[in-house]
Amino acid sequence: MAIAAYADPVIHAEPSTRVAYLRKVAALTFVGLILAAFSGTVSASVIFLLEGAASSRMVQLVVIFGSYFIAHFVARRMVYSSAAPVKYLGFMAGSVFQGIAMGYLLLAAILASLSTFGTPFVFVAQALFMTGLVAVGLLLYLMTGPKDLSYVKGALSMLFLPMMALMAISFVFSSYIGGPLGIAMTLLFVVISVAGLLYQLNQIIHKLPATMYVEGAFEVTLGLLVLFWNILVLLMRLQRR
């Protein structure tokens, strides 16, 4: 999850170079989020149409863990390749497969929203709004200058993989991990996700070289999607209290 330190960080570049770099990161991040939204919607639709065949907990775990693995390990290695076509292919693959991993969650959120509010997208809209609000808040904080977040990097190195595994398991087995324990666990995941996004944004805005805009956009895209997942789960758990 962490980005290493690089020579010639963008903070030392000319203002015009920094602006161009940040615009590229923002544009690619937008594309990545659109790809994830599309693949997530398709994934949720396929799951809904297959009904019983896709409802098995084993199938859910295979789909979610498999998509996680491709997005966070296979695609990440491609994004950090020296070949530009491989970078872009990895970026698209990471965005698409993170979206596929969210298919079950999106379907559950839509059905829960229909049952609770009579309209399908209340939980999704709330989670999108809160994710955007957090991202804007973090950006405003980081615009005041680079931050020393080395302590966050160490914590993320230990917590990220267990969190990703528990995110999938706690969702698939939500009937066993519910109530105050489920809420507390998901709230912890939200805090870790926010800390991870803060660290990544700090690295991307201030410490990456201006040539690494694909890598920067990849990390922001996946960071936002993981945060969205955890906020959406938290909202659904709070509603079921």
pLDDT tens, 115-153?
A: 999 999 999 999 999 999 999 999 999 988 888 887 787
What does the chain look like in DSSP terms, one character per residue? -PPPP-SS-GGGS-HHHHHHHHHHHHHHHHHHHHHHHHHHHHHHHHHHHHTHHHH-HHHHHHHHHHHHHIIIIIHHHHHTSSSHHHHHHHHHHHHHHHHHHTHHHHHHHHHHHHHHHSSTTHHHHHHHHHHHHHHHHHHHHHTT-----HHHHHHHHHHHHHHHHHHHHHHHTTTTS-HHHHHHHHHHHHHHHHHHHHHHHHHHHHTS-TT-HHHHHHHHHHHHHHHHHHHHHHHHHHHT-
Spell out the residues 6+ positions from residue 53 whose beta carbon is closer than 8 angstroms to its own.
59
How large is the average pLDDT for residues 154-176? Answer: 84
Spell out the residues 6+ positions from residue 202 whose beta carbon is closer than 8 angstroms to its own.
142, 146, 147, 149
- The vertex-65 CA angle with 38 and 44, nearest 5°, equals 30
Give the structural domain span for 228.
11-239
User: In this model, does residue 51 exceed pLDDT 90?
Assistant: no
b/e 45-71 (16+ beta carbons within 10 angstroms → b): eebeeeeeebeeeebbeebbbebbebb
CA neighbor of 227 nearest in space, from 131, 129, 159, 163: 131
Report the C-alpha dihedral over residues 151, 156, 159, 162, rounded to 10 degrees.
-170
* CA pair distance 104, 110, nearest whole angstrom: 10
The overall average pLDDT reported for the chain is: 91
Question: Which of 16 and 53 is assigned the larger pLDDT?
Answer: 16
User: In this model, does residue 158 exceed pLDDT 60?
Assistant: yes
User: In this model, does residue 2 exceed pLDDT 50?
Assistant: no
**Structural domain includes residue 112:** yes
pLDDT of residue 53: 62
**Structural domain includes residue 117:** yes
**Structural domain includes residue 6:** no
Q: Could you tell me the pTM of the whole model? A: 0.92
**Structural domain includes residue 3:** no
**Structural domain includes residue 207:** yes
**Structural domain includes residue 78:** yes
Written as one letter, the residue type at 109 is: A
**Structural domain includes residue 186:** yes
pLDDT of residue 153: 77
**Structural domain includes residue 5:** no
* CA pair distance 225, 67, nearest whole angstrom: 13
Number of structural domains the chain divides into: 1
User: In this model, does residue 3 exceed pLDDT 60?
Assistant: no
Over residues 53-75, the pLDDT tens digits come to 667 888 999 999 999 999 999 99
pLDDT of residue 178: 76
